[in-house]
Structure 1
Amino acid sequence: MNAGPVIWDPSTLPTDDNVNPYAFSVALNGRWFLQKGKMVAYYGNITFHPIGYGPLDQLISTSFHSPTHATDWVVAEGQGHMILADRAYDVNSYDLEEGNLTVRSGNLLAYASTLALKQSIIPGFLTLIGSGKFVAASNGPVHFVEPPVRVDPQALVGWADCPSPCHHYDHSYMRGVLGGVRRLTGLGGASGEEHQFEFVGAGQVLLQSTEVLMPEYATGAVADEPGIPGARPPAQGGRAQQPNLGNLGNLGRQFGL
Structure 2
Amino acid sequence: MSTPPSLPANNPAESLQEFVARTAQRDLGHGVFELESPRFLEVNLNGRMNTKTGSMVAYHGDIKFTREGMLDHGVGSLLKRAISGEGMRLTYADGNGKLYLADQGKKIIILKLQNESLIVNGNDVLAFEGSLQHKITMMKKIVGMMAGGLFNVRFDGSGLLAITSHYQPLTLRVQPGRPLMTDPNATIAWSGNLNPTLKADVSLRTFLGRGSGESMQMRFEGDGFVIVQPYEEVYMQTTGG
- What pairs up with 1:1-257 in 2 under 5 angstroms? 3-4=18-19, 5-8=22-25, 15=31, 16-52=33-69, 66-67=77-78, 68=81, 72-122=89-139, 123-147=150-174, 148-170=179-201, 174=203, 179=204, 182-187=205-210, 189-192=211-214, 194-210=215-231, 212-213=232-233, 216=236
Shift in Å, 1:43: 1.0
Shift in Å, 1:216: 4.9
3-state SS in 1 of match to 2:185 = helix
3-state SS in 2 of match to 1:154 = helix
Q: What do residues 126-167 of structure 1 show as CA deviations (whole Å, max 9, x unaligned)?
A: 111111101121113211112131112222112112222112
Q: Could you tell me which amino acid in structure 2 is paired with residue 107 of structure 1?
A: D
Q: What TM-score do the two structures reach when normalised by structure 1? A: 0.67
3-state SS in 2 of match to 1:120 = strand
Shift in Å, 1:204: 1.1
Contact 2:167 2:230 in 1 (8 A): yes
Shift in Å, 1:87: 1.7
Instruction: Identify if the C-alpha distance between structure 1 residues 183 and 66 changes in structure 2 by more than 3 Å, giving closer, same or farther.
Output: closer
Contact 2:28 2:34 in 1 (8 A): no
5+ unaligned residues in a row in structure 2: which ranges?
Answer: 1-7, 9-13, 140-149
Shift in Å, 1:116: 1.3
Shift in Å, 1:215: 5.6
In structure 2, C-alpha distance between the alignment counterparts of 1:121 and 1:6, rounded to whole Å: 41
Contact 2:126 2:162 in 1 (8 A): yes
Q: Could you tell me which amino acid in structure 2 is paired with residue 213 of structure 1?
A: E
In structure 2, C-alpha distance between the alignment counterparts of 1:103 and 1:14, rounded to whole Å: 24
Contact 1:13 1:25 in 2 (8 A): no
Q: What do residues 79-110 of structure 1 show as CA deviations (whole Å, max 9, x unaligned)?
A: 11110111222222111111111111111111
Structure with greater contact order relative to length (CA < 8 Å, sep ≥ 6): 1
Name the Cα RMSD after superposition. Answer: 3.1
Q: Could you tell me which amino acid in structure 2 is paired with residue 159 of structure 1?
A: W
5+ unaligned residues in a row in structure 1: which ranges?
Answer: 222-257
Identity across aligned pairs (percent)?
25
Q: What TM-score do the two structures reach when normalised by structure 2? A: 0.71
Count the aligned residue pairs: 201
Q: Could you tell me which amino acid in structure 2 is paired with residue 46 of structure 1?
A: I
Contact 1:161 1:204 in 2 (8 A): no
